[in-house]
Amino acid sequence: MQATLYKTDAPKKSTNLSINSELLRLAKENHINLSQTLEQRLAEMLREEQSRKWLEENHEAIDAYNSRIGTAGAFSDGLRRF
């Protein structure tokens, strides 16, 4: 289960954006909801950034674990049947 990144029930807030006129025209022609699309992409970008920061903060522990497994093997090596 993934933790909630933001409050999905937070009230909406109006904002002004500048967007390429051709992209806007095409989005309207294709009935793309700009607000929903922006929210989805922003959430995706924030998850990616959160993941990148976590990996950066934990890279030493991950490297140490991988090194240990590489030299000593995993606990379950003798138990696996595949």
CB 34 within 8 A of CB 27: yes
| CB 6, CB 39: distance < 8 Å | no
Domain range summary for the chain, segments of one domain joined by +: 21-71
Instruction: Look at residues 33, 49, 38, 46 and name the one whose alpha carbon lies nearest to residue 6.
Output: 46
Nearest to 27 by CA among 37, 18, 41: 37
Q: Is the pLDDT of residue 1 over 60?
A: no
Encoded tokens for 41: 């992409």
Eight-class DSSP state of 75: G
- Give CA–CA dist 48/42, Å, rounded: 10
pLDDT digits (tens, 9 = 90+) for 7-52: 999 999 999 999 999 999 999 999 999 999 999 999 999 999 999 9
Tens of pLDDT, residue by residue over 59-69, are 999 999 999 98
